[in-house]
Amino acid sequence: MKTFKFASGIVALAISAAFGQAVAQEGAPAMTAQEKEIGKKIYFERCAGCHGVLRKGATGKNLEPAWTKKDKDGNETSGGTLKLGTDRLSKIIAYGTEGGMVNYDDILTKEEIDIMARYIQNTPPIPPEFSLKDMKDSWKLLVPVKDRPTKQMSNINLKNVFATTLRDTGKLALIDGDTKQIWHILDTGYAVHISRMSATGRYVYTVGRDGLVTMIDLWFEKPTTVASVKLGSDARSVDVSKFKGFEDKYLVGGSYWPPQYSIMDGGTLEPLKVVSTRGMTVDGEYHPEPRVASIVASHIKPEWVVNVKETGMIKLVDYSDLNNLKETTINSAKFLHDGGWDYTKRYFLVAANASHKVAAVDTKTGKLAALVDTKKIPHPGRGANFIHPKFGPVWATGHLGDAVITLISTPTDDPKYAKYKQYNWKVVEELKTAGAGNLFVKTHPKSTHLWADMPMNPERENAEVNFVYDINDLSKPPVKIDVAKDSGLPVTKALRRAVHQEYSQDGSEVWISLWGGKTDQSAIVIYDDKTLKLKKVITDPKMITPTGKFNVYNTMKDIF
């Protein structure tokens, strides 16, 4: 039997069971059982996030066999519909697309690329459901509340700790932002998507791509996982309750599969309630896989903003009475992804990225405030807020599919910005970038800079750098920061992608992940925000595939 080298990351063996058995389809390329298992694993790790478990598409294209396989006569077109076939699919997987899909020729082997080209021409396996009972069966209370410290046991400045995802190892590195030393590394779910902080800053909640939520207590001398629970087979988002009187009482988690959100006890992760998001889209069609893409906690009401990707529905979930749960459903646009607050924290702006729009929700009135047309595939992360010298308060997003950073005017009741009201909810400027493939833009209230990455761009000179704009004079070309070169690490065939800028608590430093392959050394590269000069490189054999970094204070206070 032929064996294959795995270039992709480690995932729990349970994935095979969780994602069901691949089903062969008439006319689809033949695959061995081993190849199907390899394809299933890689698809979960690398593809499902954008294309969906059922391959119906969202940020990425529809990959159902009706679109991917040639017809029974081997023709590439049938009834006017383009049929891709193995050769063309292999090229797309290897070299990426201008629409924001990364090239995989330096991530997957040739054998794996061939397997994936054939795998997506076969009918996708359907994963099992995941009930409240399943959640309760998975729940582990490792350290009861009564056995936890009553005060902080270390001398670490917890507000300046960075929770750093080590993607392919299923671990989280907690790094002391003052000393730049790795404080502790803990096991988490695979490929942690985000870390969120409790309202007090004591606890770190992580959610992995395998649906595992972990709760980490920072008050121990060494940070300790005190509870864990599974949300399902695939998940992306969590947040605590933040409204006064409900601080940290509940945690909500959103899953990609099954499509639902789950509410847990904020101190123990005990599962309390599961709510399905299946239903009709804004177009009036039923969708079987409307995934929960992002969740944030309102600061002005006991509500979470829950964004349902495929339906284009934004749900305001009132958690004040779980037995009589109230949802306000707001129509926006498909396909909702990520987003962040405006600087007043009244309006939440979220990318409907495959519709090339940004939706803005007024959490005070519970209504849609605006639906703003943008360039292709906006991907803001949480976005960036600053005062534009000409247009006043703006919120920024980059784009996976276009070479611009979009600036949208946002409203405020502050009388000193009243003269900018005429611009509200309009795209007031588009900053030119070197290409598509941006994932994150970031600034800080104490900074005069806007940082932008481009890790999904296929060109090395773009993927391994950051571009820094002067907020006070946006007519100036951005400064190009060569993060890979500054790291001092040797050049490798595979790209090291500079991704996810994060500010220190005081806004004086910018931390950037240099995301290499699993066998290539990676690093965190730190810059002085005022001078743009290299300040420190954190590298270590344990620093494997670092991606998202979340400063405790900035995440706790929603500063971006």
Residues that are catalytic? 47, 50-51, 101, 337, 379
Q: Are strands 367-373 and 384-388 parallel, antiparallel or unpaired?
A: unpaired
231: left (phi over 0), alpha (psi -120 to 50) or beta: alpha
CA dist., res. 69 & res. 72, Å (int) = 9
- Residue 146 CA, chain-centre distance (Å), reads 34
Q: Is 44 exposed, middle or buried (0-12, 13-18, 19+ CB in 10 A)?
A: buried
Is the Cα dihedral 466, 471, 472, 478 positive or negative? positive
Rounded Cα–Cα distance for residues 503 and 345 (Å): 19
Considering only CA atoms, which of 289, 293, 267, 11 is closest in space to residue 139? Answer: 267
Q: How far apart are CA 500 and CA 66, in angstroms?
A: 36
DSSP string, 139-205: -EE-S-GGGS-SS--S---GGGEEEEEEGGGTEEEEEETTT--EEEEEE-STT--EEEE-TTSSEEE
- Alpha carbons within 13 angstroms on the beta-carbon side of residue 233 total 27
What single string gives the DSSP state of each residue in 9-54? ----THHHHHT---B--TTSPP--HHHHHHHHHHIIIIIHHHH-TT
The owner of tokens 């534009």 is 388
Question: Following DSSP, what letter does each residue of 345-381 receive, concatenated?
Answer: SSEEEEEEGGGTEEEEEETTTTEEEEEEE-SSSB--T
Separation CA 532–CA 526 (nearest Å): 10
Tokens of 339: 């987003």
Yes or no: say if 310 and 290 are a contact pair by the CB < 8 Å rule.
yes
Q: Which residue in this structure is represented by tokens 């689809």? A: 28
